[in-house]
Amino acid sequence: MTDRIGNIFVIEIFQPGGATPPNEHASAHEFFHVLHGVGVARCDGKVLPIKKGDSLLLHPGSEHVIENTGPGKLYTLTVMTPNEGFSELIRSGEPVELDAEDIRVLQGL
């Protein structure tokens, strides 16, 4: 079953050392905005450091990995247009509770 939505906006929280699997999207653009933390974006063979306030737009067919290289969590606002199954992937994951640090970061404190 699909969510039948055109795009999705999510907050991704990467534990220290956590990363997305290498992936690319056939027709979707994916946008990452770093809300808190530091990491690297590996895109089409290039490695870019990322930190709070940085944004990255990936075009369809761009192979990429987002990795947390910092001592704390990495938080990104991630937008994918069109959805291309991302919302279904998120829903199939294991639910987790936000902790006090997550709430503080997401409130911008």
pTM (2 d.p.) = 0.91
- 106: alpha, beta or left? (left if phi > 0; alpha if psi -120 to 50): alpha
DSSP state of 90: H
- In a structure prediction context, what are the per-residue pLDDT tens digits for the chain, which is 109 residues long? 466 778 899 999 999 999 999 999 999 999 999 999 999 999 999 999 999 999 999 999 999 999 999 999 999 999 999 988 888 888 888 888 999 999 999 998 8
Superfamily name and number for 8-90+100-106: Jelly Rolls (2.60.120.10)
Structural domain boundaries in the chain: 8-90+100-106
Q: Are 30 and 52 in contact (CB under 8 A)?
A: no
Which tokens sit at 60?
């369809």
State the SS3 of 41-61.
EEECCEEEEEECCCEEEECCC
Q: How far apart are CA 54 and CA 57, in angstroms?
A: 10
